[in-house]
Structures are given as structure tokens and as C-alpha cells.
Amino acid sequence: MLELRIAGRDFGQPVLGEVYATITRGDRICLLGPSGIGKTTLLNAIAGLDTSIPDEAVLGRDKLRVGYLFQEHRLLPWRTLSANLMLVGVSEQEAETCLAQVGLPGYGQYLPDQLSLGMARRAALARCLAVKPDLLLLDEPFASLDPIMAGELKALIAGILDANPGMAMICVTHDGEDAEMLANRLWYLDGKPAQLQWNDELGDPGLVRELLGKLRSSELADS
Amino acid sequence: MVLPLFVVFWGAFAWFLDSPLLPTPLQVLHTLKVESANGELWYHLGATLSRVAVAFTLAMFIGTVIGIAMGRSRTTNALFDPMLVLLLNLPALVTIILMYVWFGLIEVAAVMAVVINKIPNVAVTVREGARSLDYRLEQMATVYDFTRWQRIREVWVPQLSPYLMAATRGGLSLIWKIVLVVELLGRSSGVGFQLHLAFQVFDVAAILAYSLAFILVVQLIELAILQPLERRSNRWRQPEAAHA
């Protein structure tokens, strides 16, 4: 349903190299890689936010509805949750349903700043769901949440994916455990400029472990 | 506290001098009453206010469009910035004289002179706001296919509102002062025109009466329109502590 033929992207210096990949319905991809390697850059390119990447580089996107869960909630702080959801084209009732789906029933009249970090992120996820996405992009959805909240959100997302088998997902994360719980495919982005070092079915546990080991050691090298 | 003291001091001093060049506060109030009773005050206040309203609306609209364009695009900014600097430093009096010389002593020239004086201030303020627009919300609006109108109304205007308020505040006080000069130089109605007449016969009581009336009107606008508007646009910033 989506074909990536990205020739590269630089911000002064090359960040992203050539990226070729295909995404089909039902793909649950975890995009792993050391921090600062260009994972968000790739996600933005896929979402069509990067104007310097031509539309042909992300073939098929114009036919897709995309839900993007940014690292920050990016809800309009001057609008209630309900109004925020209605801005993407749903009725008030549907907005309420989406909020209930993420565990925020009856929160329609709250302003984003009245919510805790975890709740605001769930509200942003509700907005993703409101567009009935074919492709769900998640940028570090569990970052800076405490383990309990992160676990809840993970279960929530897993439930949403199970309920929508046709939906594809790309989830940026540092954490191999997220991948094991959510993904059926794995992308590993590394190198300078960054390329997909690994891109396949998440079948071979040995390979996954090796990759995660590599990820951890490069994390260590980072810090 | 200072203001009543000032009035008392003024009254005592005027009484002591006993000169028509410095009327007492009571004499000013009396003039105000006479002028308002014979309708002169309302006619001229109305004329000035309608000029202020038209000039203000035009200047805010054009200045906002220019400011957003310059804040959003480096090229536009580079093209128009020298022009902006020129206009910012052009004395109001020069614009007024030129407009009257080129277009005659007509209403359009008067209002245009005010608008040209005010546009650069609005543009500079709004440009600052447009530069600080949050790119993260822009990305969000792109992903979720906001229409142009939704983007302006829901994403830009709330972020620009402090800048628009600043431009409005500064705009109103600047514009009404320029309008008076414009009227003094080339119109036959308005507070500025009345001040001109009073000046010719050294009628200080009338000068003070008209100034007082106008200050009161401007204060009324501030209290009745601007402050409620500002409170309304800032309401989301202080959500009541309804934390769940």
C-alpha cells in the first residue's frame, strides 16, 4: 500500500541516506535505531511533512488516511479535546466514542493543559483514531511515561491493532520490548547517513536479540 | 490618588491666576456641557470616531496580512523590510501633507494618511508573532489536512492573538492622535477641527473640554471592548484547576 523510495535528506549534513521499503496492510513495524539517527526524520518524510522530499518518494500516500501520534500531544491548547477531535472531521458523538476508546470517557470538555502527560498522549491517540487511519505513525509513544502508564498505553495500542487488522503501523522506539510486544516487522536504522540496516519479518528471535544487542551497545556509545 | 490631587492643584492655580488661558476645571466642565447640549460635541466626536474606526480596521487588516506574509517567508521579508523601515521612520506629518497635496483635502486622503502611518507598526508586531508560530502545530495541521481557513482560525489566530492585541492597543492610541492632526490640517469636522478653531481664538477651555471628552471615549473603548476581548482570548491559558 505504500512504497518508499527516498533518495536521502540532509540538514546541512546528510542525515538520511537512501531508504527503499514497502509497507503493506497489517504491517506492524517497529523502527529501531540509536537516538538522533533520523527516525523522526523518516517518519516525517512518510507522513508528508518534509516538503523537500518529493511526493513520488512515498508512493501511495495520497490514497491513505494517516494518523500521527507525535512525541508531544500537539492538541490545540485553546480547544477542548472534543473540539480538537472534531477538527479532523468527526461529529461530537464520534469524538466522544474515540475518547472512550482510549480510556478518556467524558473528558470531551477538558482542555489539553488540564490533563496529565499520559492522558494527553492518549487524547492525541484518540485523534489519530478519529481519522480512521490506514497508517498509524507513532513517534516514541512510551517515552517519558512511568512504567505503569507506558504498559497501559502499550496494551491499548496492541488492542487497537488487533481490532483493526487492515491498519498498518510504524512505531519509533528505542526499546526492544516494545518491538516484541507490538511488531511483526522490524526496521533498524543506523549509519551515517542513516539507512535501513535491517528490514524484514520479525521471525527469527535470535536475529532480533542480536539486533537489540547492537542497539544497546550503540546506545552506550552514544552516552 | 495623584489624579484628584492634580485636579485640585490645577483648580487652585487657575483660580489664583484668573486668566482665560488657564480655565478652572469647573469652567472646562461647563464648556463640555454647553458643547454637548448644542450637539456640537457629539457631531465632532462622531466624525473623529468614524475616521478612527475606518482607518483602524483598514490598517489592522492590511498590516496583519503583510506581517504574516513577512513572518512566514524569508523572501517576502527581505523584499519588504527596507520599505517597512522607511515607512516606520517617515514622520506622520509628512504622509498627511503628501496625501493632501496629491489627492486634495478629501476624506479618502485623510483616512489613507492615517492608514499608511499605522500599517508599518501593525506589520512589525504581527511579523514577530508570525515568526514565533509553533511549527509543531503546523505539522499537525498538515497531517490532519486542515483547510486553509481552519489553519488560520484554529491554529494561527490564537497564537497571534497577543500580538494582535498589542497592535490593537498601540494602534488605537496612535491612530486617534494622528486623526486629530489630519483633521486639524484639512477637514472641516471632527475633534481636530474643533481644536483648530479653539486654537485660533485661544479658547483653552474648549481645547481642554474636547481633549477630555476624547480621552473619556478612548478609555471607554478600552474598558468596554479591548479588555473583555483580551480576557476572552486568554481564557484557555488559565484553565481552572479541574485536574483529574
Helix (H) or strand (E) segment spanning residue A201: strand A195-201
DSSP assignments along B203-219, one per residue:
-HHHHHHHHHHHHHHHH
Residue A17 confidence (pLDDT) above 90:
no
CB contact under 8 A, B150 and A87: yes
pTM for this structure? 0.80
Please tell me the total count of domains within chain B: 1
The string of pLDDT tens digits covering residues A130-188 is 999 999 999 999 988 888 989 999 999 999 999 999 999 999 987 777 777 888 888 88
Q: Which of B73, B133, B134, B144 should we substitute to test contact with A (largest number of A Cβ atoms within 10 Å)?
A: B144
Domain that includes residue B204, residue range: 39-226
Q: Does residue B67 sit within a domain?
A: yes
The string of pLDDT tens digits covering residues B111-136 is 999 999 999 999 999 999 999 999 99
CB contact under 8 A, B144 and A88: yes
Q: Does residue B213 sit within a domain?
A: yes
Task: Encode B82-119: b = buried (16+ Cβ within 10 Å), e = exposed.
Answer: eebeebeeeebeebbeebbeeeeeebebbbbbbbbbbb
* Cα(B126)–Cα(B227) distance, integer angstroms: 19
DSSP assignments along B99-142, one per residue:
HHHHH-S-HHHHHHHHHHHHHHHHHHHHHHHHHT--HHHHHHHH
Q: Looking at chain B, which residue has its C-alpha nearest residue A90? A: B144
- What is the mean pLDDT of the segment spanning A20-33? 88
CATH class of A2-64+134-222: alpha beta
**pLDDT score at A51:** 87
CB contact under 8 A, A127 and B136: no
- Given a cut of 50, the residues of chain B with pLDDT beneath it are 241-244
Residue A221 confidence (pLDDT) above 60:
no
Residue A62 confidence (pLDDT) above 50:
yes
CB contact under 8 A, A131 and B144: yes
Q: Does residue B171 sit within a domain?
A: yes
**Which DSSP category does A194 fall into?**
B
Tell me the nearest-neighbour CA distance from A5 into chain B, angstroms: 20
B interface residues, A as partner, C-beta within 8 Å: 136-137, 139-140, 142-146, 150, 154-155, 158, 236, 239, 242-244
Residue A220 confidence (pLDDT) above 80:
no
Q: Does residue B33 sit within a domain?
A: no
**pLDDT score at A210:** 67
- What is the mean pLDDT of the segment spanning A72-95? 94
* Cα(A35)–Cα(A218) distance, integer angstroms: 9
CATH number of the domain to which B50 belongs: 1.10.3720.10
Q: Does residue B23 sit within a domain?
A: no
Helix axes A117-130, A92-101, angle to 10 degrees: 130
Residues of A in contact with B236 (CB under 8 A): 77-79, 111, 113
**pLDDT score at A208:** 62
* Cα(B160)–Cα(A159) distance, integer angstroms: 40
Question: Which one of A16-25, A95-104, B170-179 scores highest in mean pLDDT?
Answer: A95-104
Residue A198 confidence (pLDDT) above 70:
no
Q: How many Cβ atoms from other residues are within 10 Å of residue A51's Cβ?
A: 8
**Under 8 Å between Cβ of B20 and B165:** no
**pLDDT score at A203:** 55
**Under 8 Å between Cβ of B140 and A74:** yes
| Domain coordinates in residue numbering, chain A | 2-64+134-222, 73-133
